[in-house]
């Protein structure tokens, strides 16, 4: 049995893509600020990167930090017979880059062959942090330009995502931190952090499992030296009841 977990808009990967496309249009590169957009927080990513600080910074990192369920949608559950439409949907999902999805090709193929499918759906509220960091003698000035450019394009980024992915809501969370200083890497760095909130449905599909039968199908009651007679009957909600009457 395989599970398939789907976000309509992948929180971290999606923000990286849309932000990268829009940062190119800000003119930062003409100022000598490449402002590459990467996965993860820059201060942590640099620790695993072989680039020198001057080559790595300035950089904008995108980190998915929390994911909270907010509510179930409808009855939250439905079951249906596998069909051609669902198989086509699975094949289209399989064609997306593997870096954009959790499920492997083998999991998707397993669902394609299943007879009956179960679906669960609920809303999630994800928090994604956009962190811009600079270093060097012009680090603070570079940080100002980086912040103005990134924060300035966020309205357009959020708008584009919501127009592209119906049912997805993206907004700036209002929790903005500026002029953060750190020597965590052994040299001076400056940064800012902006929080985005993404609200969207999350779906989980799985092949219908085979449920085990009850281990106890029934039992007999014997009372020594008793004249009470026990009989089965269907009680409230269809559960079996044992009723007794005395023969004395």
Q: What is the rounded distance in angstroms from the CA atom of residue 108 to the CA atom of residue 196?
A: 31
Q: Express each pLDDT in 123-168 by its tens digit.
A: 999 999 999 999 887 788 899 999 999 999 999 999 999 999 999 9
Torsion angle defined by CA atoms of residues 109, 113, 118 and 123, in that order, rounded to the nearest 10 degrees: 20
Which residues touch 183 (CB under 8 Å, ≥6 apart)? 189
For residue range 169-217, list pLDDT tens digits in order.
999 987 789 888 888 777 888 999 999 999 999 999 999 998 776 655 5
Q: Are 12 and 39 in contact (CB under 8 A)?
A: yes
What are 37's two structure tokens?
């957009």
Report helix, strand and coil shares of the chain as percent, to nearest 5: 30, 40, 30
pLDDT tier at 223 (50, 70, 90 boundaries)?
Answer: low
- Across the chain, mean pLDDT equals 85
CATH number of 3-207: 3.30.70.1700
- pLDDT value, residue 114: 95
Structural domain spans, the chain: 3-207
Q: What digits encode the pLDDT tens for the residues 61-111?
A: 999 999 999 887 777 899 999 999 999 999 999 998 888 888 899 999 999
- At residue 34, the pLDDT reads 86
117 has which bridge partners? 80, 207
Positive or negative torsion for Cα 147, 149, 150, 151: positive
Res 55 pLDDT > 70: yes
CA angle centred on 143, ends 140 and 144, rounded to 5°: 95
pLDDT score, position 78 = 92
């Amino acid at each position: 049995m395989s599970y398939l977990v789907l976000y309509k808009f992948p929180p971290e990967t999606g923000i990286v893509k849309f932000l990268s496309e829009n940062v190119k249009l800000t003119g930062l590169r003409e100022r000598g600020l490449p402002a590459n957009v990467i996965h993860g927080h820059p201060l942590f990513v640099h620790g695993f990167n072989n680039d020198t600080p001057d080559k790595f910074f300035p950089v904008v990192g995108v980190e998915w930090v929390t994911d909270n369920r907010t509510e179930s949608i409808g009855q939250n559950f439905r079951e249906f017979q596998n069909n051609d439409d669902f198989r086509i949907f699975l094949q289209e999902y399989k064609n997306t880059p593997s870096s954009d999805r959790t499920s492997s090709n083998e999991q998707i193929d397993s669902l394609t062959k299943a007879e009956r499918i179960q679906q669960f759906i609920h809303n999630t509220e994800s928090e994604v942090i956009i962190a811009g960091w600079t270093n060097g003698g012009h680090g603070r000035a570079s940080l100002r330009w980086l912040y103005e450019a990134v924060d300035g394009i966020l309205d357009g980024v959020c708008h584009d995502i919501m127009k592209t992915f119906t049912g997805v809501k993206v907004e700036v969370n209002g929790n903005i931190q500026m002029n953060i200083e750190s020597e965590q890497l052994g040299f001076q760095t400056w940064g800012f952090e902006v929080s985005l909130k993404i609200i969207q449905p999350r779906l989980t599909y799985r092949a219908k499992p085979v449920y085990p039968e009850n281990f106890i199908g029934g039992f007999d009651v014997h009372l020594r030296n008793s004249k009470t007679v026990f009989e089965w009957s269907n009680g409230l909600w269809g559960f079996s009841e044992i009723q007794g009457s005395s023969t004395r």
